[in-house]
Amino acid sequence: MANSAGLCTSFKTELMLGGHQFGAITLISRTSLTAPTTDTFKMALYQTSATISPATAVYTTSGEVATAGGYSAGGATVTNATAPTSSGTTAYWTPSASVSWTGVSFTTDCALLYNSTQTVASFGRAVGSYTFSSQTVSGGNFTLTMPTNAAGTALIQIA
Amino acid sequence: MEIIDLSSIVSTTLGDIPENDLEIVLAREDARDTWVIQRIFTYKGTAYPEAVGTVVRQDAWVTIKNGQGASAEAGL
């Protein structure tokens, strides 16, 4: 069997587990240095006029749908019951439940996943932006259903 | 005593409305990375004549079919 080049799959998974540190970063304490606690992740919704993108570094209230009814600024905590894992050469992670808001009225076309534990000047570090066709909800419910947690479909993938 | 079937009552911007007074339309949109279902309730009852024909509730379900990837392929 010949040698081959590439990032190790275990490394890709460990990136999501916080297992490697190549440079300095200011973190909010995860309590233990050897068995750190899991961060909390949240999903916020944005109006169609907002400018959320992969260039977004931290959660922002700018352009977020208004706090009213069942929606509060900052969005909702995602359920994280399944640790990052891998299949083939792809590491991946997906929230383990849908995110729902009830009794809300807004128009949105974007959700921002961010780390609400690890913050910069109190704003959570951004993870990913997810867009969809503009959706208007009026006095109703909005549900964001997560993809299948697998290589090729998971919410976060390092291939 | 009148028996009210609460399962047929819908919370709307007009308040709680019997489902029979609402026209319900489902719309589905399938895109590359998402698919969406919209449920739109339009009032058709008699208690609020000024609201007949207006949308009194909209729900949306957005399903992310494919998440976002960070490529780390060899070859650079």
Q: Judging by beta carbons within 10 Å of its beta carbon (0-12, 13-18, 19+), is residue B11 exposed, middle or buried?
A: middle
pLDDT confidence of residue A1: 79
Structure tokens at B4: 């009210």
pLDDT confidence of residue A45: 98
pLDDT of A106 above 90: yes
Average pLDDT, chain B: 89
CB contact under 8 A, B60 and A140: yes
CB contact under 8 A, A130 and B64: yes
E strand intervals along chain A: 41-46, 76-77, 85-87, 90-93, 99-120, 123-145, 156-158
Summarize pLDDT for A46-71 with one digit per residue, the tens.
999 999 999 999 999 999 999 999 99
Q: CB of A3 within 8 Å of any CB in chain B?
A: no
CB contact under 8 A, B67 and A153: yes
Q: What's the Cα-to-Cα distance from B45 to each of B22, B48, B54, rounded to whole Å?
A: 7, 7, 11
Q: What is the DSSP string of A34-57?
A: SSPPPPPEEEEEE-TT----TT--
pLDDT confidence of residue A71: 98
Q: CB of A6 within 8 Å of any CB in chain B?
A: yes
For the segment A18-47, the average pLDDT, to the nearest whole number, is: 95
pLDDT of A16 above 90: yes
Summarize pLDDT for B14-36 with one digit per residue, the tens.
999 999 999 999 999 998 899 99
Residue spans per domain, chain A: 37-147
DSSP reduced 3-state for B29: strand
Task: Work out the pLDDT band at B2, boundaries 50, 70, 90.
Answer: low
Q: Chain A neighbours among B 55-74 (CB < 8 Å)? A: 55-74
More confident residue, B69 or A107: A107
For the segment A32-39, the average pLDDT, to the nearest whole number, is: 94
